[in-house]
């Protein structure tokens, strides 16, 4: 891999001819960059790769962001903010733990579908930099919340106790997270059907009664 062009400062960028006419708003630029990260991997994507996919010069990119890592950070924040919003909303309700878990599954499925490229990026992180490690720590907090809710639901008698309280939350989240790998809005049914199938499978199981 070529070195990241971190040595190129804002001042350098300012002297480039296309500065001020980047041809993209920040939103579209972010979306395109995240697509490229997901296709080639964040580590394998250089600012040069982004530049050729965007069809604008590196300087034009530096009009919007200081570095490749800043793009990553913004994209990860988008995914994590949305997920945390779901968890906070659910935790603020006065429900039994098992119902909170159901609401978290439903809300997470929706975020995964709505923010698919951003969540995909989050889920594929390897933790190779401080930005990635920070995002992974925020993700871990959400996992811990689910672990605690499973334990609480077991104590309240709503969730079976003959399963591993360590594996069950991970398997549950793993099932939901897999959505970014295969869901196609036009072929896999609506988000509501998807969310309904996930909740039924996790809480009631596939076996016909």
- Residue 124 sits in the site that holds its own copies (CB under 8 A): yes
- Residue 200 sits in the site that holds its own copies (CB under 8 A): yes
- Residue 98 sits in the site that holds its own copies (CB under 8 A): yes
- Residue 148 sits in the site that holds its own copies (CB under 8 A): no
Phi, psi of 95 (to 5 degrees): -115, 165
Nearer of residues 19 and 40 to its own copies, judged by Cβ: 40
Pairwise CA distance, residues 92 & 100, whole Å? 10
- Residue 72 sits in the site that holds its own copies (CB under 8 A): no
Give the other-Cβ count within 10 Å of 136's Cβ: 14
Rg of the chain over Cα atoms, rounded to whole angstroms, equals: 20
- Residue 133 sits in the site that holds its own copies (CB under 8 A): no
Nearest to 83 by CA among 147, 38, 35, 142: 142
Q: How far is the CB of 71 from its own copies (least distance, A)?
A: 17
Using the Cα atoms of residue 208, residue 146, residue 163 and residue 158 in order, give the sign of their dihedral: negative
Pairwise CA distance, residues 50 & 64, whole Å? 13
Length, in residues, of the chain? 209
193: its two tokens: 């059907």
- Residue 160 sits in the site that holds its own copies (CB under 8 A): yes
Among positions 44, 114, 130, 137, the unique one binding its own copies when judged by CB under 8 A? 44
Among positions 85, 128, 130, 144, the unique one binding its own copies when judged by CB under 8 A? 128
Among positions 88, 130, 167, 185, the unique one binding its own copies when judged by CB under 8 A? 167
Interface residues toward its own copies, by CB under 8 A: 1-2, 39-44, 46, 98, 124, 126, 128, 150, 153, 157-164, 166-168, 170-175, 177-179, 181-183, 187-189, 193-194, 196-198, 200-209
């Amino acid at each position: 891999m070529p070195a990241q062009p971190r040595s190129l400062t804002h001042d350098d960028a300012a002297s480039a001819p296309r500065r001020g006419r980047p041809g993209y708003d920040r939103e579209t630029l972010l979306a395109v960059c995240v697509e490229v990260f997901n296709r080639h991997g964040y580590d394998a994507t250089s600012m040069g790769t982004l530049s050729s996919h965007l069809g604008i010069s590196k300087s034009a990119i530096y009009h919007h962001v200081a570095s490749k890592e800043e793009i990553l950070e913004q994209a990860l924040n988008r995914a994590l903010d949305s997920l945390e919003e779901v968890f906070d909303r659910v935790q603020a309700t006065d429900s039994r733990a098992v119902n909170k878990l159901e609401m978290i599954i439903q809300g997470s499925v929706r975020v995964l579908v709505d923010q698919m490229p951003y969540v995909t990026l989050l889920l594929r992180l390897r933790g190779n930099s401080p930005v990635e490690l920070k995002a992974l720590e925020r993700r871990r907090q959400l996992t811990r919340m689910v672990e605690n809710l499973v334990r609480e639901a077991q104590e309240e008698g709503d969730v079976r106790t003959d399963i591993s309280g360590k594996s069950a939350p991970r398997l549950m989240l793993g099932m939901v997270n897999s959505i970014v790998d295969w869901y196609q809005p036009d072929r896999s049914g609506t988000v509501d059907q998807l969310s309904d199938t996930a909740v039924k499978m996790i809480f009631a199981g596939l076996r016909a009664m």
